[in-house]
Structure 1
Amino acid sequence: MVAEPDSALLKHASQDVEAFSQIVAAYQTPVFNLCYRMLGDPQEAEDAAQETFWRAFQALHRYDHSRSFLTWLLSIAAHYCIDQLRKRRTPVESIQEWMDEILPGSSPNPETQYTQLEESQRIQQLLMRLEPHERAVLILRYWYEMSELEMAEMLSISTSAVKSRLHRARQKMALLWKEQQSRYTSKESAHEAPAY
């Protein structure tokens, strides 16, 4: 995780675009990554990240220094992305261990890395089929490792709502994953050469 900016920089950045650019440089990667996971398109994610920083700059004087700056910034990004997805009206059509198993890990093995890249792309496709609020909790939980309390604070909902959304999102992801697996299996068996 990125280190918290000091209060002097934040105070200066609220009045000076050049000083704020230091904050942008420090936080652009996590903000872009969240936007990309939410929106699924690099160009849209870039636009959303820029909009996030613009909104943060405008609201910096209201930032509560007792909160994590990254959490505050990602909250702005998540809300903006959810709004964008609502405008799109993306159609949507348990499993804790399954999520832990398929989500990003690190391995030096090139074959494993290639497989993980394929898995990551398939996961991104599945994420795009979830409702925006379900996608948000999965991304914050598994990619940013936030607690239910942090997510509740960030999304302005109760912890019980976070738990409920996580539960539904995991179930949907599992069903979508099984559906996708059966399609891949069907395609592979259709391409197998007949035995003579």
Structure 2
Amino acid sequence: MNNEQVWLEQARRGDKFAFGQLIEAYQGPVYNLAYRMLGNSGEAEEAAQEAFIRAYTRLDSYDPTHKFSTWLLSITSNFCIDQIRKRRAVLLSIDEPLPPHPALHSDNNKGPEAAYVAQEREELVQNLLSELPEEYRQAVVLRYWYDMAYEEIAEVQKTTVSAVKSRLFRARRMLADAGLARGLLPADQLEEVAV
């Protein structure tokens, strides 16, 4: 039995310290998911806190046959979708620096010019992501930032694997079309940035 399983068992019996260990283990992924979906660090912090509160109060509904991380990220992304729906008319802010994504950086890119180019790409990706419908944005973030399998995304989104694949295909097409319409990148470069 690994530490996570022990903490889960103890937390399910009401041990707050054990749940604190789970928070410590997952605060980065939960915050990063919330940030990618909401695009604002303050809102992401609040969403992460709310996700952990909801997870703690619903521990009795957690099914140990599934990965805890999938369950927790599902709670987080569903809360974020609710927040996005509440502020549908408000555009996402891209003024704050984004957490780095491996596909947008490489060890060969050093120096101020490379850092500027990387920041520009990150802003572009966040801006384009903000234009996607919530369920498409969620699928893209879970797949390409968290490397979740189609099955895990389907579980989070409470849908089928084929629906997830369809959402990802449509999302990539929407991202490409939006980028081309703005003249931001040639079509062959846009897909690399989007994924």
Report the counterpart of residue 61 of structure 1 in structure 2. 60
From 10, 16, 20, the equivalent of 1:12 is 10
Report the counterpart of residue 178 of structure 2 in structure 1. 176
Distance 1:9 1:167 in 2: 38
Unaligned runs of 5+ in 2: 92-101, 186-195
From the superposition, tell whether residues 156 and 182 of structure 1 become closer, same or farther in structure 2 (CA, over 3 Å).
Answer: closer
What's the CA shift for 1:55?
A: 0.5
TM-score computed with the length of structure 2 as normaliser: 0.80
Distance 1:177 1:32 in 2: 27
Q: Which amino acid aligns with 2:9?
A: K
Q: Deviation digits for residues 88-109 of structure 1, max 9, x if unmatched?
A: 22589xxxxxxxxx94343242
Q: 3-state SS of the aligned residue for 1:144?
A: coil
Distance 1:56 1:167 in 2: 31
Map 1:96-175 onto structure 2 (within 5 A): 103-110=103-110, 111-175=113-177
Distance 1:129 1:154 in 2: 21
Q: 3-state SS of the aligned residue for 1:6?
A: helix
Distance 1:109 1:40 in 2: 25
From the superposition, tell whether residues 5 and 178 of structure 1 become closer, same or farther in structure 2 (CA, over 3 Å).
Answer: farther
Rg larger in structure:
1
**Contact 1:126-1:177 at 8 Å conserved across structures:** yes
Distance 1:127 1:140 in 2: 12
Q: Which amino acid aligns with 1:146?
A: M
From the superposition, tell whether residues 7 and 91 of structure 1 become closer, same or farther in structure 2 (CA, over 3 Å).
Answer: same
Distance 2:184 2:141 in 1: 25
From the superposition, tell whether residues 107 and 180 of structure 1 become closer, same or farther in structure 2 (CA, over 3 Å).
Answer: farther
What's the CA shift for 1:159?
A: 1.1
TM-score computed with the length of structure 1 as normaliser: 0.79
Overall identity of the aligned pairs, in %: 44
More off after superposition, 34-43 vs 79-88: 79-88
Q: CA RMSD in A?
A: 2.2
Q: 3-state SS of the aligned residue for 2:146?
A: coil
Q: Which amino acid aligns with 1:49?
A: A
Q: Which amino acid aligns with 1:7?
A: Q
**Contact 2:4-2:22 at 8 Å conserved across structures:** no
More off after superposition, 138-147 vs 8-17: 8-17
What's the CA shift for 1:117?
A: 2.2
From the superposition, tell whether residues 130 and 13 of structure 1 become closer, same or farther in structure 2 (CA, over 3 Å).
Answer: same
